[in-house]
Each structure stands twice: as C-alpha cells, then as structure tokens.
C-alpha cells in the first residue's frame, strides 16, 4: 500500500475554501486573515505529518526516509515568502493597509455616486480662496458675485453601499472663511476606511479673488475668468487656465498630460514640473518653465520674456509675437524678438524664421536652419557639433559672414561676393567668408555636416527646404 | 517489521522543523520577536534531531531494511 499524507489534500481544500470565500463574501477581511494566520498552516501541516508518522510507526508500517519531501519544502518556502510578504504589506508599513485595502476595494468594490449639496458662503473680507482636493477634479470659475459657491459630485469606491455612505459622511465639502482666506475643503484625509473617494468639485468665486488650489492626484484642474492670481500645487493634474488677470504659478506638478494657459495678463511660472504637453497662448507677463516635458510645447504670443530651463535645453527669448513649437527632437519658431539664446544637449533640429535682435545658438546634434527675414540683420552666433547648417539671408542685407564646416560640403548662393573655400582632403570641409555692406557679424558653423548660405527669395521656408543631399555626411550624423 | 527509533526520528525531522518554523513566525506576529532574531533556533532544533538520531541505538538488521522511497527522499 502506498502511503499518502493527508496534508496535500487538506491544503488544497483550505486554499479552495479561501478563494471561494473571497469571491462569495468579498466583505470579509480574508487577506488580513491570511496575512495573520498563515504560520498556523505550517504548524498544522507539520503536526499532521508528525501524527501520521507516529501512527505508521505504532502500526509497524515502514516509515518514509524523510518526513517532508523536497517538493513539500519548496511549497513551504513559497508559503513563507508569500505569507510574510502579505503580512508586511498589510500590517507593517504605514501605507501598507491602504495599498492592500485599496487594491481589494479596486478589485471587489463598486462605484457609488453622490451629489454634493451646494454650499454658498459670503466672502466677507476674504481676498483669496483656497481649494483643497486630493483626488478628483477641480473647476473654478469667476463670476460677478459676492459669494463662493461649491458643489459637484463625489464618486466613492467601496465594497458595499453602507461603506460608501460612511465615507460620504466622513468627507463633507466645507466652505469657511478663515481670516482673509476662504477655504473650500473636500476633507478626503478624514477618511478612516479603505474606500476611495474622488471629488469632482465645481466652485464659483467672485472674480476679483486670488485662487490657490492644492491637490495630489487630480484628473484636471481648471480655472477660468479670475482677475487675481492663480497658484496650483498638485502631484498629478492636467491644468487648464483661461482668462486670468493676475500671475500664475504652478509648482511641482510631477505628472500632467497637459498644462494649458491662455489669456493670462500676469506672469506664468511653471516650476519643477514633469509632464507631456504645454500650451501657452497670449501671455502678458514673463513666462518661466523649469522642468522636463516629453510632449509638445506650443507657445504663442508672449508679450514679455520666455525662459525655459530643462534637463537638455535652455531657451531665452525676449518676446514672442509669433509662435514656438518644441518637442524632444525639434525646435521650430517664427517671428521672435531677441536677444534669443538656445542651447540644447540632445539631438534636436532647430528652425527659426523671422527673428530680430541677436541670436545665440548652440547644439550638440541637429540641423540648424535660420532665416532672419527682417533687415537690418543682427548678430548671429550659431553652432552645431553634428548637423547641417543652412542660413538664408535677405537679398539686400548687409553682414559680415564667417561660416565654416570641418567635415562637409559647402554651398554658396552669393557667388563671388563671398569667398567660399572647399578643402580637397578626404573628409571635405570648408568655409564661406566675407562682408556685404556694413553689417553685423554672423558666425555659423558645424563640426560635421554641410554648410549652405542662401539668398532669400522671399518664398516660405518650407518651399526651399530641400537640403543638399550629402551621402558622405548623412550616415555619420545618423549614427549618433 | 518494525521501524527503528532512528528511522522514526529521521522521518519526524521535517515535520518538527516545519512546526518550529511556524512557531517562529507566530512569535514574530504575536510575540513581537522578529524572525531575523530567532531563525538560529531552526539550526539548533535540526542539530538536536541529528544528534538524537546518532544517540539512539540502531536495531535494524540488514533484512529489515525494506524502506520504500515513498515520501520522496532526496
């Protein structure tokens, strides 16, 4: 007779019962139970095996060579790892309870919707409104009123409706005056259970107030038609601002799909951010963007200076009557007022059309295409380590040109008016130098890439954008 | 044929270690004695069981050695 232990089947039954309970009775704290009581499974298992062995020995049946087989030890090791992992996540860390609880609520819970009863409070002497909402969206609209109105809806994820009701009671939306600050709070931090509360807040405020929004994980924050300043601090949020009279400040928005600001009379200051897209349109004050953005930056119509400081690029433009489009691989701009300064340490092609005042440009990798359009010209100093340089100068402009490439072909539209030198050694290289009239110094150069100086025919830039083919150089550029 | 005491101790070794392991975790969760402090108890118990196996006289005759490898010996 082959002896089989009862431990295997019993263990299987226990696991089956546990999973069955977790699907039939999701409200029971089964994960907590498992995390707390799993060592008893080891003890029970060992005791059962011991008992079996003693019975076999008493009956005189042959004993197995070892009480637990190798496969069983493997199972024990897994049980220990999973069990202690569960325990530490569940009980040992301050946020452990939240993670496991929240996951359970995520998996087994339902979403319950609540309407937030509208609250109206007179502003009194308050000059500022502070809105605190950790999870959910915030929409603030300025209006001709003397009251702050807060309403909206709440979505609560919970295992059962009485949990959701409890969570709703624990997180009332408060509107209160505190000195000169009007505070609108969603009180999500008062929640004691494992429910997840998302509050979508709609607030109407008197137009003249300043607005401050504090969030954590917000889907979106929208502020419209406010004459005062706007300050936003959130870890995660898409931000849309429109028609703001004061200064705008966004700090530490570490995750955002879109930051959009339009029709801002004051300054725009975006600090320490990380995200995808930025759109700025019609800004009256200075604009500072400090952070890293992986998507598109669309900037239009800035009356004052723009400064962008990123991990791989730095830009300063005195005024932007036109527009700037920038992404990880490209910088395109039309109609800028300098002084302009751009440095980029990652591969990026730069195309600037119609600019005045001085331009200073320094690239590691990437092509440069410059077309100042306006006369008289200003000082230009542009250099790339690796890429083609194309300079298109107005037909009647006066300048003093020093253009050079170390490895690449040279092409010159001006003919004998400028002195073009092509070196005949194996990797090419050459320069174009000379003065036409009395003009500013223009220095352009590349270490590796073709150099083209064109006479502007007035056609749009895209039309003559065919770059000279350069079989010798191109593969080397792409390698980097 | 009867199993010797040595066989019994050897067979009981695994289950006893398993029980001790479970107790150490219980001590951690309920008694606040962390496992990283108590794990050497496993070595001590294992050593004691080996010692016990040696101390018990082995009565087995060669003919009685008909143990099957059931239980999956290594």
Query: pLDDT at residue A99 above 90?
Result: no
Query: pLDDT at residue A4 above 90?
Result: no
What span, in angstroms and rounded, lies between the C-alpha atoms of A316 and A306?
6
Q: Where does the pLDDT of residue A32 fall: very low under 50, low under 70, confident under 90, or very high at 90 and above?
A: confident
Task: State residue A251's pLDDT score.
Answer: 87
CB–CB of A40 and B26 under 8 A? yes
Task: State residue A23's pLDDT score.
Answer: 81
Task: State residue A366's pLDDT score.
Answer: 92
What span, in angstroms and rounded, lies between the C-alpha atoms of A389 and A410?
10
Q: Percent of chain A at pLDDT above 90?
A: 46
Q: Where does the pLDDT of residue A367 fall: very low under 50, low under 70, confident under 90, or very high at 90 and above?
A: very high
Residue B42 to chain A, least CA–CA distance (Å): 14
A443: its two tokens: 């220095």
What span, in angstroms and rounded, lies between the C-alpha atoms of A361 and A478?
21
3-state secondary structure labels for all residues of A329-374: CEEEEEEEEEEEEEEECCCCEEEEEEEECCEEEEEEECCEEEECCC
In this structure, which long-range contacts are made by residues A52-59, counting pairs with CB atoms below 8 Å and at least 24 apart in sequence? A52/A3, A52/A5, A52/A6, A53/B8, A53/B11, A53/B12, A53/B15, A54/B8, A54/B12, A56/A3, A56/B3, A57/B3, A57/B7, A57/B8, A57/B11
Query: pLDDT at residue B8 above 80?
Result: yes
Of A265 and B29, more confident: A265
CB–CB of B11 and A46 under 8 A? no
Q: Are strands A128-135 and A181-185 parallel, antiparallel or unpaired?
A: parallel
Residues from chain B contacting residue A65 (CB–CB below 8 Å): 10-11, 67, 69, 71, 73
**What sign does the CA torsion over B69, B72, B73, B74 have?**
positive
How many C-beta neighbours within 10 Å does residue B41 have?
A: 15
What span, in angstroms and rounded, lies between the C-alpha atoms of A162 and A155?
14
Q: Where does the pLDDT of residue A293 fall: very low under 50, low under 70, confident under 90, or very high at 90 and above?
A: confident
What span, in angstroms and rounded, lies between the C-alpha atoms of B69 and A478?
66
How many C-beta neighbours within 10 Å does residue A43 have?
A: 18
Residue A82 phi/psi, 5-degree rounding, is -65, -45
- Complex ipTM above 0.85? no
Please tell me the least confidently modeled range out of A129-143, A273-287, A349-363, B60-74: B60-74
CB–CB of B70 and A38 under 8 A? no
Residue A33 to chain B, least CA–CA distance (Å): 12
Q: Where does the pLDDT of residue A464 fall: very low under 50, low under 70, confident under 90, or very high at 90 and above?
A: very low
Query: pLDDT at residue A262 above 50?
Result: yes
**Mean pLDDT value across residues A188-199:** 87
Q: Give yes or no for a contact between A159 and A108, defined as CB atoms under 8 angstroms apart.
A: yes
| Burial zone of B58 (CB within 10 Å; 0-12 exposed, 13-18 middle, 19+ buried) | exposed
- Burial letters for A207-230: b for 16+ Cβ neighbours within 10 Å, e otherwise? bebbbbbbbbebebbbbbbbebbb
Instruction: Give the residue among A65, A75, A104 at the shortest CA–CA distance from A14.
Output: A75
Query: pLDDT at residue A170 above 50?
Result: yes
Query: pLDDT at residue A256 above 70?
Result: yes
Gyration radius of chain B's alpha carbons: 16
- Who among B10, B26, B66 is closest to A39 (CB)? B26
Reported as a single tens digit per residue, the pLDDT across A369-420 is 999 887 788 899 999 999 999 999 888 888 999 999 988 888 888 888 888 8
CB–CB of A36 and B68 under 8 A? no
CB–CB of A67 and B74 under 8 A? no
**Mean pLDDT value across residues B24-41:** 83
Task: State residue A444's pLDDT score.
Answer: 93
Q: Percent of chain A at pLDDT above 70?
A: 90
- If phi over 0 gives left and psi between -120 and 50 gives alpha, with beta otherwise, what is residue A364? alpha
Task: State residue A92's pLDDT score.
Answer: 52
CB–CB of A3 and B70 under 8 A? yes
Task: Give whichever of A13-17, A226-230, B33-37 has the largest mean pLDDT.
Answer: A226-230
Gyration radius of chain A's alpha carbons: 34
Please tell me the least confidently modeled range out of A58-62, A207-211, A259-263: A58-62
**Mean pLDDT value across residues A114-129:** 91
In this structure, which long-range contacts are made by residues A266-271, counting pairs with CB atoms below 8 Å and at least 24 apart in sequence? A266/A229, A267/A304
Residues from chain B contacting residue A77 (CB–CB below 8 Å): none
Q: Mean pLDDT for chain A?
A: 85
Q: Give yes or no for a contact between A305 and A316, defined as CB atoms under 8 angstroms apart.
A: yes
Q: Where does the pLDDT of residue A57 fall: very low under 50, low under 70, confident under 90, or very high at 90 and above?
A: confident
Task: State residue A264's pLDDT score.
Answer: 96
Residue extents of the structural domains in chain A: 7-107, 110-228, 232-291, 312-480
Residue extents of the structural domains in chain B: 13-57
Task: State residue B71's pLDDT score.
Answer: 44
Helix (H, G, I), strand (E, B) or coil at A421: strand
Q: What DSSP line would sit under A158-189, residue for residue? A: ESSHHHHHHHHHHSPPEEEEETTEEEEE--GG
Task: State residue A91's pLDDT score.
Answer: 63
Query: pLDDT at residue A61 above 50?
Result: yes
Q: Are strands A368-371 and A349-356 parallel, antiparallel or unpaired?
A: parallel
Query: pLDDT at residue A474 above 90?
Result: no
What span, in angstroms and rounded, lies between the C-alpha atoms of A248 and A213?
11
Distances (CA, A) of A197 to A90, A236, A291: 21, 16, 30
**Mean pLDDT value across residues A184-206:** 90
Nearest chain B residue to A3, by CA? B70
Task: State residue A391's pLDDT score.
Answer: 92
What span, in angstroms and rounded, lies between the C-alpha atoms of A399 and A314?
27
A179: its two tokens: 């000195």
The angle formed by the CA atoms of residues A76, A77 and A82, to the nearest 5 degrees, is 100
Please tell me the least confidently modeled range out of A105-114, A161-170, A406-415: A105-114
Task: State residue A426's pLDDT score.
Answer: 59
Helix (H, G, I), strand (E, B) or coil at B1: coil
Of A93 and A59, more confident: A59
How many C-beta neighbours within 10 Å does residue A109 have?
A: 21
Task: State residue A236's pLDDT score.
Answer: 87
Residues from chain B contacting residue A8 (CB–CB below 8 Å): none
Please tell me the least confidently modeled range out of A3-7, A87-91, B59-63: B59-63
Residues from chain B contacting residue A70 (CB–CB below 8 Å): 72, 74
Query: pLDDT at residue B62 above 50?
Result: no
What span, in angstroms and rounded, lies between the C-alpha atoms of A147 and A122?
4
**Mean pLDDT value across residues A326-351:** 91
């Amino acid at each position: 007779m082959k002896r089989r232990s009862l431990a295997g089947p019993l263990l299987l039954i226990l696991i089956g019962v546990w999973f069955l309970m977790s699907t039939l009775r999701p409200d029971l704290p089964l994960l907590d139970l498992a995390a707390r009581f799993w060592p008893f499974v080891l003890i029970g298992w060992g005791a059962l095996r011991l008992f079996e062995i003693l019975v076999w020995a008493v009956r005189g049946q042959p004993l197995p060579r070892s009480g637990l087989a190798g496969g069983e030890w493997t199972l024990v090791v897994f049980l220990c790892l999973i069990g202690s992992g569960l325990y530490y996540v569940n009980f040992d860390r301050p946020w452990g309870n939240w993670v496991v609880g929240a996951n359970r609520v995520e998996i087994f819970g339902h979403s319950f919707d609540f309407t937030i009863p509208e609250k109206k409070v007179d502003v009194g002497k308050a000059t500022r409104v502070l809105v605190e909402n950790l999870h959910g969206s915030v929409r603030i609209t300025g209006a001709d009123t003397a009251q702050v109105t807060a309403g909206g809806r709440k979505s609560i994820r919970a295992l059962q409706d009485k949990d959701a009701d409890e969570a709703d009671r624990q997180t009332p939306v408060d509107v209160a005056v505190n000195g000169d600050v009007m505070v609108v709070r969603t009180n999500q931090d008062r929640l004691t259970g494992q429910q997840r509360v998302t509050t979508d807040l709609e607030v109407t405020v008197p137009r003249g107030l300043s607005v401050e929004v504090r969030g954590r994980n917000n889907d979106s924050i929208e502020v419209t038609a406010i004459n005062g300043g706007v300050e936003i601090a959130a870890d995660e949020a898409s931000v849309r601002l429109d028609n703001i009279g004061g200064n705008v400040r966004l700090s530490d928005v570490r995750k955002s799909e879109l930051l959009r600001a339009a029709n801002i009379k004051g300054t725009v200051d975006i600090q320490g951010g990380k995200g995808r897209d930025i759109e700025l349109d019609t800004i009256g004050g200075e604009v500072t963007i400090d952070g890293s953005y992986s998507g598109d930056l669309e900037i239009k119509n800035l009356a004052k200076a723009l400064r962008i400081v990123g991990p791989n690029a730095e830009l300063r433009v005195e005024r932007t009557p036109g527009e700037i489009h920038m992404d990880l691989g490209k910088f395109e701009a039309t109609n800028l007022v300098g002084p302009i300064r751009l440095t980029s340490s990652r591969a990026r092609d730069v195309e600037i059309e119609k600019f005045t005042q001085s331009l200073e440009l320094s690239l590691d990798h990437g092509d440069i295409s410059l077309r100042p359009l306006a006369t008289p010209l200003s000082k230009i100093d542009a250099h790339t380590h690796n890429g083609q340089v194309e300079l298109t100068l107005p037909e009647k402009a006066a300048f003093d040109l020093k253009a050079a490439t170390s490895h690449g072909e040279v092409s010159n539209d001006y003919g004998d008016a400028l002195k073009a030198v092509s070196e005949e050694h194996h990797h090419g290289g050459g320069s174009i130098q000379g003065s036409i009239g009395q003009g500013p110094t223009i220095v352009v150069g590349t270490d590796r890439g073709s150099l083209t100086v064109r006479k502007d025919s007035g056609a749009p830039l895209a039309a003559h954008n065919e770059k000279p083919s350069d079989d010798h150089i191109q593969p080397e550029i792409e390698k980097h | 044929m009867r199993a010797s005491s040595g066989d019994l101790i050897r067979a009981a070794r695994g289950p006893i270690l398993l029980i001790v392991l479970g107790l150490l975790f219980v001590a951690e969760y309920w008694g606040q004695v962390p496992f990283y402090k108590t794990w050497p108890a496993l070595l001590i118990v294992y050593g004691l069981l080996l010692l016990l196996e040696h101390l018990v006289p082995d009565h087995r005759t060669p003919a009685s050695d008909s143990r099957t490898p059931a239980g999956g010996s290594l």
